[in-house]
Structure 1
Amino acid sequence: MLLDAGCTYALAGHSERRHILGEDDAMVGRKVGFGLKSGLSMILCVGEKVEERKAGELEAVLRRQIEAGLAEVGADVGPEKLAVAYEPVWAIGTGLTAGPEEVAEAHALVRAMLVERLGAVGGQIRILYGGSVKQGNAGQLLGIDNVDGVLVGGASLEAGSFAAIVTA
């Protein structure tokens, strides 16, 4: 149905669906696999809650989410068919943004895990940052190593705001 409607990309694992609808890591992995098999390009969303960040669990949380999220994905996946969006849950809709060092750390971990899991193709998969992206921080975020783009949330609801991010 999504393809029939002209959809080419789908998100799996967005924090709001995990929180509100109770979607767990295994379900997210099934959605990624099904979406790819159906011909969609998939964006796997991963990220930690504030208490996980404070407890030093960033790497463990990302590893768990990536391993489950890619459970049905083979190393033959084309990098144009899969992206990973790091969205620190504590920065979504709060106006808070992870600092450059926090973003760089998380994206480096995601990149290493993608290469570990998928080999060379893991080095080509786009990693997006999503967590209160707005005009004032988009340019800085896009200058951080391993940040290949942004996943814009609330700021995309107003055309002028979104256009300013696109030109950042």
Structure 2
Amino acid sequence: MSSPYGPEHAPAGDVGAVLMMIDSRLKSIHDGTSGDEAEQRELVAQFTASLGPGGVDDLLDGACTLIYLYMTWLRKAHEDHGKDVIEYVVPSLVASMRMMPRSIGSEAIPTMAGLVTAAGIGLSPSLWRKQYGEWTEAEMTPLEATVFLLAEHINRIADDRDFATRLISEALTRADEEL
């Protein structure tokens, strides 16, 4: 039976733009060029302002799509080893977020854990979140951090700094070719 929160009912959003932002963040941290956090936030704010009226919604949906795709990959990888993705990914994600109190308020952590759990059981994070109202400003950085942390987790499992980005880039390329 299909759920109204199934991914087939959710908009994909601008996955490419979010992937570019996350890949840039991953590279800057690994290369030691992360620079000033305020400068990074200003660049993201300028970028989102340039997107137009529906652009922010497209980014939010794109971030949720990445969470869904990353959790799908992680679920399959964990199942191959007889493990439950929720049991192994969510506690690690929550622990990582709790170590970032200046960037991620404790009130946003349950929502991010919920997004990841929804994706882990095959639901759309975007539609799951939408049932609780509009996104808040306080959830923007935690959402970005969630996508980043999942990508970094995948990269560590694959022992390849670019694996998570390549995984999505190749999926987007295949989708374009099928159209």
TM-score by length of 1: 0.31
Instruction: Name whichever structure is richer in helix by fraction.
Output: 2
Higher relative contact order, structure no. (Cα contacts within 8 Å, ≥ 6 residues apart): 2
Could you state the TM-score of these two structures normalised by the residue count of structure 2? 0.30
Q: Say which structure is richer in strand.
A: 1
